Structure 1
Amino acid sequence: MKKGVSFLVTVALIALVSSLASASDPGPLQDTCVAIDEPNDAVFVNGKFCKDPKLTMAEDFFSPGLDKPGNTSNQVGSNVTTVNVDKIKGLNTLGISIVRIDYEPYGENPPHTHPRATEILTVLEGTLYVGFVTSNPENRLISKVLNKGDVFVFPIGLIHFQFNVGHTNAVAIAGLNSQNPGVITIAKAVFGSNPPINPDVLTRAFQLDKNVVDYLQSRFS
């Protein structure tokens, strides 16, 4: 009896580890599941409610304008145009999305993570210095300079960035394996949280003078 229980526990643990290792957006159970707003009395779990498949139309799978440059007049000198399930309702349950990233000269897409997606990026114009950092304890930087036509992959959940090292504008397009990959910009999340993180926490964590922490929080708040 004990051997049987032990075997079942082992199988259960293996199944759990396997399911966690392969976790991603759930697969569709029908041809289309075009997202609609949830009814007022429904419980929102993690995803979208579906339109009746018989009412599906081409517009549910279409979004124009990805050829238009984004406005890079901001502090970081870049702009991300996102096409996810909020933009194309037909992406619901399909597990993919796409973004266009525009960079002014020496502009950057600052260090950030996507908690729910791996990203594959292709440079359309310009030259980008890109990279990601592996997890503790190594924290190893994997980086490369990319030119037009080059492709680079950022693994799910890892901090990564892109920086335009050229004298002209740069453009990239990236695919992500989630209908809603999410984004956490590291500096903004840490120094611009609402409400603010206690400065004593950040002073100790980043080994900074408290005046520097106060300054950074004022910049990102």
Structure 2
Amino acid sequence: MHTSAIIIGALSAVTAYAKPVAQNGRWTPEWVNRNAEVSGPAPSAVSAAASLQSFSLLGVPTATPNPSPNAMLVAQLITAPSAADRITLLNDAKGNGTADFKFDLNPAANPAVAAQAGGEVITADRKRFAALTGLNVAVAGLFYQPCGLNPPHAHRATEVLTVATEGTLLGGFVFDNTFTTEISEEFSQFQSFVFPEGSMHWQMNQECHPVTAIAAFSNEDPGAITTANRFFQNTNQDVVLAALGFPEQITPDNFQAFQANIPAPFVKGIKQCYDKCGISY
């Protein structure tokens, strides 16, 4: 698969994507049971129920929700005179149930995070996990559905992404204007890939079953700017048209319709992967 096709597809947001089935507020895809030998016709013959027995995108469904974000506590931690004072504040908050030194990345423990068509990201940053305040680190759990694409985006942090479960991700990034080559790699279970701070980067699950990864960040508030959404949906439309250089294709007359059809991350990925996995679209 030519990696530039993935970026073009994500940025233009014209890729069709399958409609998953909601289960208890989370998304259940149609995927293949990799514990069985599948050959011949379409993998879609494997039932979703059988697949769920082997692969769970949901993590632990009985996980207890994390404490709700506490902006007042974070403000106190930022202004605390010393690291010991921060620990004291956190310990007091733990005692009344408003913070913890432990964060649960299970989706069920984070009901406020909306699952998307291609998967979801659970981020433990300073806002959601106050214990990180002043430590310059954050972590995220990424739950990729089959063919799920985390489209091009950037952070104000370096990211190291490690595949935690069976499966292979394809990832890549582009850097500044003086470096014109895309760096891309396949990486599988227990392998890591680095995305430098400020780089526009993406990952895609090429498997027919869910894949989970863990990301580490060099900033307690790494943020995320999803390129297509923020550029096409939030930038002045005349600026967008001038930057793209093809106003004959995207015009002021059709710009709003174009904006409305850009899916939120995660998105369902490439048609070639749907066909391989027998996923309808």
Give TM-score, length-normalised by structure 2: 0.56
Instruction: Determine which structure has more spread, i.e. the larger CA radius of gyration.
Output: 1
Alignment counterpart, residue 140 of structure 1, candidates 155, 178, 181 = 181
Offset at residue 88 of structure 1 (A): 1.9
What is the aligned partner in structure 2 of residue 205 from structure 1? Answer: 243
Q: What code does the residue aligned with 1:165 have?
A: Q
Offset at residue 191 of structure 1 (A): 1.3
Offset at residue 217 of structure 1 (A): 1.7
Offset at residue 35 of structure 1 (A): 7.2
Distance, in Å, in 2 between the alignment partners of 1:156 and 1:175 is 12
Offset at residue 56 of structure 1 (A): 3.9
What is the aligned partner in structure 2 of residue 123 from structure 1? Answer: 163
Please say if 1:91 is aligned against 2:91. Answer: no
Evaluate the alpha carbon distance shift between residue 122 and residue 98 of structure 1 in structure 2; reply closer, same or farther with a 3 A threshold: same
- Structure 2 residue runs of 5 or longer lacking an equivalent are 1-70, 264-281
Offset at residue 205 of structure 1 (A): 1.1
Please say if 1:74 is aligned against 2:74. Answer: no
Structure showing the higher strand proportion among its residues? 1
The worse-fitting range, judged by mean Cα deviation, of 155-164 and 197-206 is 197-206
CA RMSD of aligned residues (A): 2.9
Name the SS for the 1:57 alignment partner.
helix
Q: Matched residues, percent identical?
A: 31
- Structural mapping, 1:128-207, within 5 Å: 128-193=169-234, 197-207=235-245
Evaluate the alpha carbon distance shift between residue 72 and residue 55 of structure 1 in structure 2; reply closer, same or farther with a 3 A threshold: closer
What is the aligned partner in structure 1 of residue 91 from structure 2? Answer: 57
Deviations 1:153-173 (A, max 9, x none): 000000001000111101100
Distance, in Å, in 2 between the alignment partners of 1:206 and 1:124 is 38
CA contact (8 A) 2:74 2:126 kept: no
Indicate the structure whose relative CO is greater, using CA pairs within 8 Å and at least 6 residues apart: 2
Count of residues in Structure 1 that have an aligned counterpart in Structure 2: 176
Deviations 1:87-107 (A, max 9, x none): 221211110000000010000
Offset at residue 176 of structure 1 (A): 0.2
Distance, in Å, in 2 between the alignment partners of 1:35 and 1:85 is 12
What is the aligned partner in structure 2 of residue 18 from structure 1? Answer: none
Distance, in Å, in 1 between the alignment partners of 2:189 and 2:133 is 31
The worse-fitting range, judged by mean Cα deviation, of 62-71 and 206-215 is 62-71
